[in-house]
Amino acid sequence: MTVKPYKKADSSKKQQVADMFNNIAGKYDFLNHFLSMGIDKLWRKRTINMLKHLDSPYVLDVATGTGDLALMAHKRLGSKVTGVDISTGMLKVAEKKIKEKGVQDFVNVVEGDSENLPFDDDTFDAITVAFGVRNYENLHKGLSEMRRVLKPGGRMVILEFSRPSAFPFRQMYFFYFQRMLPFFGGLISKDKAAYEYLPESVLNFPDGENFDAELVKAGMKPVIRKKQTFGIATIYVAEKIQ
Ligand SMILES: C[S@@+](CC[C@H](N)C(=O)[O-])C[C@H]1O[C@@H](n2cnc3c(N)ncnc32)[C@H](O)[C@@H]1O
């Protein structure tokens, strides 16, 4: 089932996702840290740590948004990083942060679609995506494109929301995610649909072994799967074998 942010509009999911992130770009960073109570920073660190055995890999951060993961990859790995995203609003915020940190020679962002990446085959040593894959209109196409631009032997590290299963955490989490988060997110961002789309898209997205199966379908070999904070999010690591 395709979950779109704006139920009444008949534009494609991709267009709606770009519109939604353009709408909330200015408040995105604040809301991210506020609604996750800061835990997202720890998850991002752990995501980048999956690449720490590599010697300054050239990294592509897909669905880079406001660039937090791209900036962290540069900081922790000393890497050159390119971020790509379909939302011009999110990329503007990323560009401002890159400039403020003075890392323009190492981190850059470009507008582009994960389902049709503007890069040659076998370009990057590693690919990262945080909270992006769930928003792709065509997941298989997005993952296959990511595989195409990754060098043979390269690693893909994906951080995405998943669903906790243990009682009573599951119940508490769903109350927070389905009731409190849309309320506060809507109030602060003035785009309630965006924060209703978030839990709905998570509920309808493959997680755990089902997501690993999608990676396999796209020609990747899953090597690590690590639940974060009782399974609210999961880090998936897969390698390109050829
Ligand atoms: C929840 S944000 C995550 C941003 C960032 N990775 C982070 O961790 O904060 C999701 C991002 O995915 C981007 N996105 C969604 N579909 C995309 C696609 N097909 N290609 C590139 N970016 C996409 C959106 O524009 C948005 O910036």
| DSSP-derived secondary structure for 175-237 | HIIIIIHHHHHHHHHS-HHHHHHHHHHHHTS--THHHHHHHHHTT-EEEEEEEEGGGTEEEEE
Neighbours of 122 (CB within 10 A): 14
How far apart are alpha carbons 97 and 109 in whole angstroms?
Answer: 11
Answer whether 113 contacts ligand 1 (Cβ < 6 A).
Answer: yes
As a whole number, mean pLDDT of residues 143-147 equals 98
Q: What are phi and psi of 58, to 5 degrees?
A: -80, 115
As a whole number, mean pLDDT of residues 192-216 equals 92
**What is the pTM (predicted TM-score) of this model?**
0.95
Tell me what pLDDT residue 224 has. 98
Tell me what pLDDT residue 85 has. 98
Omega of the bond leading into 152 within 30 degrees of 0 (cis): no
Q: Is the pLDDT of residue 7 over 80?
A: no
Tell me what pLDDT residue 72 has. 97
Answer whether 201 contacts ligand 1 (Cβ < 6 A).
Answer: no
Q: Is the pLDDT of residue 81 over 90?
A: yes
167 alpha carbon – ligand 1 mean position (Å): 31
Tell me what pLDDT residue 71 has. 98
87 alpha carbon – ligand 1 mean position (Å): 8
pLDDT band at 90 (very low <50, low <70, confident <90, very high): very high
Q: Is the pLDDT of residue 8 over 80?
A: no
**Which amino acid appears at position 83 of this protein?**
G
Tell me what pLDDT residue 241 has. 87
Tell me what pLDDT residue 165 has. 87
By C-alpha distance, which of 155, 164, 158, 122 is closest to 142? 158
Taking only the tens place, the pLDDT of each residue in 148-194 is 999 999 999 999 999 998 888 889 988 988 888 888 888 888 888 88
222 alpha carbon – ligand 1 mean position (Å): 22
Cα Rg for the chain, rounded, in angstroms? 17
Length of the chain, in residues: 242
Q: Higher model confidence: residue 110 or residue 6?
A: 110
**CATH assignment of 13-162+207-239?**
3.40.50.150
Which atom belonging to ligand 1 lies closest to the Cα atom of 44? Answer: 8
Q: Is the pLDDT of residue 9 over 80?
A: no
As a whole number, mean pLDDT of residues 11-21 equals 92
Tell me what pLDDT residue 199 has. 87
Answer whether 69 contacts ligand 1 (Cβ < 6 A).
Answer: yes
Percentage of the chain lying above the pLDDT 90 cut: 74
pLDDT band at 10 (very low <50, low <70, confident <90, very high): confident
Average pLDDT, rounded, for the chain: 94
**DSSP character for 48?**
H
**Which amino acid appears at position 237 of this protein?**
V
**Domain map (residue ranges) of the chain:** 13-162+207-239
Tell me what pLDDT residue 217 has. 98
Taking only the tens place, the pLDDT of each residue in 22-66 is 999 999 999 888 888 889 999 999 999 999 999 999 999 999 999
**Contact at 8 Å (CB) between 232 and 174?**
no
